[in-house]
Amino acid sequence: MEATTLVATLKATLVAVGSEMVTPFRVDTNSLHVTERLNAIGYGVESKVVVADDRAAIVRVLRAAVGTVDLIVCTGGLGPTEDDLTREALAELLGAPLEVDEAILDGIRARFAKRGLEMPVINRRQAMVPRGASVVPNTFGTAPGLWAEAEGTQIALLPGPPREMAPMLDALIASRIRSGPGGGLFRRVLKVTGRTESDVDAVAEPIYGPWSRAHPPISTTILAVLGQIELHLTVPAASRLEADQKLDPAIEALRQALGDAVYSVDGRGLEQVVGDLLAARHVTIAVAESCTGGLLASRLTDVPGSSSYFDRGMVCYSNEAKITLLGVSRETLAQHGAVSEPVAHEMAAGVRDRAGTTIGVGVTGIAGPGGATDTKPVGTVAIAVVAPDERLNRTFRFAGPREQIKYQAAQAALNLVRLLLLGRAAR
């Protein structure tokens, strides 16, 4: 189902500036945060544009939007180098000269001086402001933002780094950006793992189908993301509180129908959910990895506070490493092969014994493109979770290239730990 369009919203265009984002190597992520924040104050995002560091191209994009939308939020291109041209494009759009703002210049000098450095001459460009525009302070970097209006359209220019852009946007929402009269568009996300998209939709559609005919309607969109399925529920409301009053029963209905496959209804990722369970139960964990190459340990330790439950991770790629470091028996390897549940179990038990933790996890598989056999194709992964009174062994068949198989294997391992901690491993 398509996302609901908020009735009587203001309209916005988002512009991401940066030549790196029109290559195969980088994508714009700022627009996701900006869209969420603008939806909440009554803006429907009409378009998102990515444009290279080209002054004429930036001017063309801005001119196309001015007068047709209520707000333009432009991110990137405010740095000190020659290819940072967004402020120059705004000046051309406004037909105004660029002038040095001495207060900004003094602030940039002071910022460098605090680090014992002299401000490079090129940073002077960041103090240039088109006549008629005003400055948006940046407390996290040297690039101030800019604010202007043209033909009834508000224009916000913000730096590209998210840690600088996000608080500056919030400040503008609080002080300058006009809010819509009818509230905003609010979302909740329910995250599922271990089930396919079609399976999830077969269970969920009879529940969410009637919501589109409700007043106000609740829109439900199903997204297949690597290693999980997401259900995005969207509703127009006057406030977050009002939205949650409508969304809470909907989320609960889907959670009940989908059962243990639902791991998050509050935005947390799987590693955060598992980490919170480990911490709450005062349980410690160690992992032994082969095909995932340390990815499982990396995801567990991405969570702040993980030192309270994560002891160690061991990457044992070769059979000899499995034998000497984890105590996997040569007989087990010879009889079942390295990619097998018995070997995954001995890896998990071995790392648990050596670390002295409550839980041990073992992951072994074939990430490809080579190493497959007729009985064990690329994507075959065996995972074991061992606890004092419980053990859990599973074999999976994942699809995709090498990096996707590794990620799905780490996701499956995290989910097995979650199920074991919830006492549902046998289901």
pLDDT digits (tens, 9 = 90+) for 179-216: 877 778 888 999 999 999 999 999 999 999 999 888 78
Query: For residue 45, what is the DSSP state?
Result: E
Beta bridge partners of 360: 286, 386
In 3D space, the residue among 174, 173, 101 whose CA is nearest the CA of residue 134 turns out to be 101
- Helix H or strand E segment including 311: strand 310-315
In 3D space, the residue among 297, 148, 215 whose CA is nearest the CA of residue 7 turns out to be 215
Query: What does the mean pLDDT of the chain come to?
Result: 93
- Helix H or strand E segment including 58: helix 55-65
Please state, in angstroms and rounded to a whole number, the distance separating the CA atoms of residues 196 and 214: 28
Please state, in angstroms and rounded to a whole number, the distance separating the CA atoms of residues 320 and 173: 59
Please say whether the structural domain 270-421 has been given the CATH code 3.40.50.1100.
Answer: no
Could you list the beta-strand ranges (E) of 204-266. 219-225, 228-237, 262-264
Third-level CATH fold of 186-264 = Alpha-Beta Plaits (3.30.70)
- Pull the structure tokens for residue 360: 């041990």
Q: Where are the alpha helices (DSSP H) in 141-222?
A: 162-175, 197-208
pTM for the whole structure: 0.77
Give 163: exposed, middle or buried? Use CB within 10 Å, 0-12, 13-18, 19+: exposed
Q: Cα 41 to the chain's mean position, in Å? A: 22
pLDDT at 424: 65
Select from 3.10.129.10, 3.40.50.1110, 3.40.50.300, 3.40.980.10 the CATH code of 10-175.
3.40.980.10
Unique residue bearing structure tokens 């990515």: 50
pLDDT at 186: 87
For residue 181, the number of C-alpha atoms closer than 13 Å in the C-beta half-sphere is 2
pLDDT at 217: 87
Return residue ranges of the chain for CATH 3.40.980.10: 10-175
Return residue ranges of the chain for CATH 3.90.950.20: 270-421
* Residue type, position 219, single letter: S
CA 381 vs CA 36, 237, 240, 394: distances in Å: 37, 45, 42, 8
CA 181 vs CA 8, 10, 186: distances in Å: 8, 9, 15
CA 240 vs CA 39, 44, 55, 56, 361: distances in Å: 11, 17, 39, 40, 40
Q: Cα 284 to the chain's mean position, in Å? A: 26
Residues 6+ apart with CB under 8 A from 386: 345, 348, 349, 352, 359, 360, 361, 362, 392
Within the chain, which residues score under 70 in pLDDT?
1-8, 424-427
Question: Which strands make up the sheet holding 390-397, listed edge to edge?
Answer: 310-315, 285-289, 359-365, 380-387, 390-397
Indicate if the alpha-carbon torsion angle 68, 180, 152, 37 is positive or negative.
negative
